[in-house]
Amino acid sequence: MIVPELQWMLAGERMSRGFVLYTQTWTDVGPLAGLFYWLLDALFGRSQLAYQITAFLLVILQAVFFNFSLRRNNIYPERSNIPLLLYVLCMGLFFDFFTLSPMLMGVTFLLLALDGAFIHISETAGNDEVFSIGFYIGVATLFYAPLGIFIIYILVSFLLLAATGIRKYFLMLFGFAFAMGLTGLFFYMINGLQELYFSWLSHLLEFRKIYYISIIEFLLIASPLLALLTIASLQLVGGDTRFIHYQIRCQQTVFLWLVAAGVCLLIAPELAPYQLIIIVPGVVFFGTHFFLLVRKGWMADVAFGVLFCAVLFINFSNIFPIVSTKSWVDLSDFTITSAPETTAVKGKKVLVAGDNPAPYLYNTPATPYLQWKLAQRHFNNLDDYQIVTEIYENFRKDLPDVIVDQQGKVKTLFNRIPALARYYTQEGDSLIYTRRKASR
């Protein structure tokens, strides 16, 4: 299991226990992603299998729809199911592509928006379709905040590549604002608008990134996709393609998609392999051009075989290390390991005061402080009386059985709140504080 996946499950689990997102569950998952995780937990509990099956079905749905969209909109000189096959293959690049990430869920709605963009470029879209494009991008943003950059992408695309009246621009922006506004209204009604901003949006403005893998490792994992994209681009630029004007504008639109995807990766608050999902539609779009236009059939067969082998190697070498992968990708910060701190406590309500959520694996999260990067807002300001009061209230409402003090903050906390300290005892010199039996 990867670290973000556990955090998504914990958010859904805590919400299913009746704790409201953001106000009582401090997590940076998008509002709709949190809603989806809550629904899965309510149906299946904390089941990794349920999450992965759902992700697999979502990938198949995306592949089928993207293939349908490209065929319906006559993107290529001939109709083909190559995009379907290529999409599924590219989504198998790394094992975490089949985790139910907010990025994966958000891309589903971006594909709907892209389909609407193709229709608009063909000058057959009405007002409803233009409104829907903005609305779909708004929904995608509510799953994963950095995807909001695509509203700028679509505006620029229409400005440069399509005859779009000013009224339609406002309709598209209204569709985007409508999705965002409904969410804002809900949290305003429950007095959680400030928490919505703090947990979900504020970290984007801080430009601080969590590196689960290094940039070099990220690029190495992306190399098969980038190689196919480069070859396909050269084929389009240098080949005798004879596309009609509409198809060329669609190609330019998807090129701008890839530019927006790059910006999305830059502003994202974390760097992980599954974020490459955002470039898969663009790679499939241009990769299909290569396989359809290459004149020598054996070249297409060789290219597909190389891509297939590269995907197998990158994906499965991390699971079945026939060739050691430690020299090119380090997943120690990305995956939950069976370390002693993971298995030392089981079946308890736990608070982890630190970045490593592994102790939650066999336990239930207690208090709103689900993610340490958000909890630091309180734990780094223990001299503030108002904050100390809020911490005490948060503990009192959901008292942990065990506190894992990874950052060494608990002693200072207990000094500030003696009424809280009397509930706990430290186990020797360890990082673990357990609740006294008399206080249960």
Q: In this structure, are 170 and 290 located in the same domain?
A: yes
Residue 292: pLDDT band (50, 70, 90) is confident
Burial class (CB in 10 A: 0-12, 13-18, 19+), 364: middle
Q: Alpha-carbon distance 239 to 290, whole Å?
A: 10
Q: What would the pLDDT profile of 143-160 be if each residue is shown by its tens digit?
A: 999 999 999 999 998 888
Q: Is residue 108 part of a domain?
A: yes
Q: In this structure, are 287 and 207 located in the same domain?
A: yes
**Domain end position, chosen among 253, 282, 316:** 316
Rounded to an integer, the average pLDDT of 423-433 is 83
Q: Is residue 32 part of a domain?
A: yes
Q: In this structure, are 31 and 151 located in the same domain?
A: yes
Q: In this structure, are 128 and 195 located in the same domain?
A: yes
Which pLDDT score, from 0 to 100, does residue 50 have? 93
Rounded to an integer, the average pLDDT of 286-299 is 79
Q: What would the pLDDT profile of 364-397 be if each residue is shown by its tens digit?
A: 999 999 999 899 989 988 888 899 999 999 998 8
Among 59-68, 131-140, 145-154, 340-349, the least confident range? 340-349
Which pLDDT score, from 0 to 100, does residue 243 have? 79
Identify the domain containing residue 221 by its residue range.
3-316
Which pLDDT score, from 0 to 100, does residue 319 have? 60
Q: Is residue 194 part of a domain?
A: yes
One DSSP character per residue, 183-199 reads HHHHHHHTT-HHHHIII
Which pLDDT score, from 0 to 100, does residue 259 have? 95
Listed as own residue / partner, the contacts of 159-165 with beta carbons closer than 8 Å and 24 or more positions apart are: 160/252, 160/256, 161/121, 161/249, 161/252, 161/253, 162/120, 162/121, 162/123, 162/249, 163/123, 164/120
**b/e map of 122-157 (b: 16 or more CB within 10 Å)?**
eeebeeebbbbbbbbbbbbbbbbbbbbbbbebbbeb
Q: In this structure, are 353 and 266 located in the same domain?
A: no
Q: Is residue 321 part of a domain?
A: no
Nearest 5°: CA angle at 129, between 124 and 134? 135
Rounded to an integer, the average pLDDT of 107-115 is 95
For residue 438, pLDDT over 70 is answered with: no
Q: What would the pLDDT profile of 203-257 be if each residue is shown by its tens digit?
A: 777 767 889 988 998 998 898 899 888 888 887 777 656 778 888 888 999 999 9
Token pair, residue 109, equals 């709605």
25 DSSP assignment: B
Which pLDDT score, from 0 to 100, does residue 147 have? 95
For residue 342, pLDDT over 70 is answered with: no
Q: In this structure, are 377 and 304 located in the same domain?
A: no
Q: In this structure, are 248 and 361 located in the same domain?
A: no
Residue 431 vs residues 368, 405, 406, 425: alpha-carbon distances, Å: 20, 5, 6, 11
Q: In this structure, are 262 and 296 located in the same domain?
A: yes
Residue 325: pLDDT band (50, 70, 90) is very low
Residue 11: pLDDT band (50, 70, 90) is very high
**Domain end position, chosen among 260, 284, 316:** 316
Q: Is residue 335 part of a domain?
A: no
Q: Is residue 117 part of a domain?
A: yes
Q: Alpha-carbon distance 187 to 323, whole Å?
A: 50
Number of domains in the chain: 2
Q: In this structure, are 112 and 39 located in the same domain?
A: yes
Q: In this structure, are 173 and 298 located in the same domain?
A: yes
Q: Is residue 326 part of a domain?
A: no
Q: In this structure, are 297 and 355 located in the same domain?
A: no
Q: What would the pLDDT profile of 83-95 be if each residue is shown by its tens digit?
A: 999 999 999 888 8
Burial class (CB in 10 A: 0-12, 13-18, 19+), 385: exposed
Q: Is residue 332 part of a domain?
A: no
Q: Alpha-carbon distance 233 to 253, whole Å?
A: 14
Which pLDDT score, from 0 to 100, does residue 146 have? 94
Coarse DSSP helix, strand, coil percentages of the chain, rounded to the nearest 5 percent:
65, 5, 30
Q: In this structure, are 269 and 362 located in the same domain?
A: no
**Domain end position, chosen among 316, 348, 379:** 316
